[in-house]
Amino acid sequence: MIRVDRSSRSRGVRVAGYAMMAAAGGIAFAIPVSSIHASTGWLVYLWAAFLLLGGLLCGWGAVTDRWIGELAGLPLISSAFGVYFVVLSLTRTISGAAAALAFGAVALLLVARWRDISTIRREADRQAHPGAREIQ
């Protein structure tokens, strides 16, 4: 059986982090960064929406202690951070490279978290249906 850390401290940190991502998405949607808007056009609103919706889904999952929220929201958030990584990498400046590396690192950490949640989902399915054949 997979044991999940159910400490309220860990969950509180995740809730706060996801709430901050949702807030960042809301602000970025309402007031997009002019340099990113200039280089990407309307796509800046899509990535901001990814942060907003992904943060809300993940936050809901963390608050309710249900893995489905993070499983659905983490791909949205990590995609937004991945795209920001690419956009910032194209600036070809030292400060752009530093920011790109930070965004890229966060994207990779979120993908790792998603993989952990996916493992929990598979284990939950396996335990709920012990005789069922696993499809990968």
In a domain, 136, yes or no: no
In a domain, 4, yes or no: no
In a domain, 97, yes or no: yes
Q: How many CB atoms lie within 10 A of CB 75?
A: 16
pTM: 0.82
The residue segments making up the domain with residue 21 are 9-128
Token digits of residue 70: 């993070």
pLDDT in tens, 37-89: 887 888 889 999 999 999 999 999 999 988 899 999 999 999 999 988 998 88
Token digits of residue 3: 């044991």
In a domain, 19, yes or no: yes
In a domain, 98, yes or no: yes
pLDDT for the residue 4: 54
**What span, in angstroms and rounded, lies between the C-alpha atoms of 106 and 78?**
8
In a domain, 3, yes or no: no
Q: Indicate the number of domains in the chain.
A: 1
**What span, in angstroms and rounded, lies between the C-alpha atoms of 119 and 69?**
14
In a domain, 133, yes or no: no
Closest CA relative to residue 61, chosen from 114, 119, 100? 114
In a domain, 68, yes or no: yes
